[in-house]
Amino acid sequence: MGALYDSKSKTLDDKGIKNLLSPDAKYQAWLTVEAALAKAQGELGVIPVAAATHINEKAQIENLDFVKMEEIYRKVGHGFVPFLKVFVAACDEESGKYIHFGATTQNIQQTSQNLIAKQIHQKFKQFMLEIMENLANLAKDNAETIMAGRTHGKHAIPITYGYKAAVWLSELMTSYERLEEVEKRIFTTMMGGAIGAFNAAGEKGIAVQTRVAKILQMPAMAIPSRNINAPKIEYINVLALLANNLHKIAEEVFQTSIEEFGEVSEGFTKGTIGSSTMPHKINPKLSKGIIANAQKLYSLTSVGYYSAARPFEADSTTNMLFDGIFTEALELMTEILMRGEELTRTLEIHRERMYQNANINHGLDNSEFIMMKLAAEIGKDQAHELVYELAIETELSQKNYADVLLHNEKIQQVFQKKEIEELLKPENYIGLSVQLAYDTAEAAYELVAKAQKQGDEVHV
The β-bridge relationship of strands 154-160 and 264-265 is unpaired
| Catalytic-residue membership of 152 | yes
Spatial CB neighbours of 113, under 8 Å, sequence gap ≥ 6 = 29, 323, 326, 327
Q: Which of 152, 280, 397, 459 is catalytic?
A: 152
CA distance 301 to 303: 5
Spatial CB neighbours of 247, under 8 Å, sequence gap ≥ 6 = 290, 291, 294, 295, 336
Q: Which of 175, 247, 265, 275 is catalytic?
A: 275
In Å, how far are 54, 162, 273 from 278, measured between CA atoms?
63, 34, 9
| Catalytic-residue membership of 121 | no
Phi and psi angles of residue 176, each rounded to the nearest 5 degrees, phi first:
-65, -40
CA distance 447 to 454: 11
> With contact defined as beta carbons under 8 Å apart, do 394 and 103 qualify?
no
CA distance 253 to 344: 10
CA distance 232 to 319: 11
Alpha-carbon radius of gyration of the chain: 30
Spatial CB neighbours of 224, under 8 Å, sequence gap ≥ 6 = 107, 189, 190, 191, 192, 196, 209
Handedness of CA 9, 11, 17, 21 (dihedral sign): positive
CA distance 311 to 308: 9
CA distance 253 to 243: 15
> Residue length, the chain?
460
- Residues involved in catalysis: 152, 275
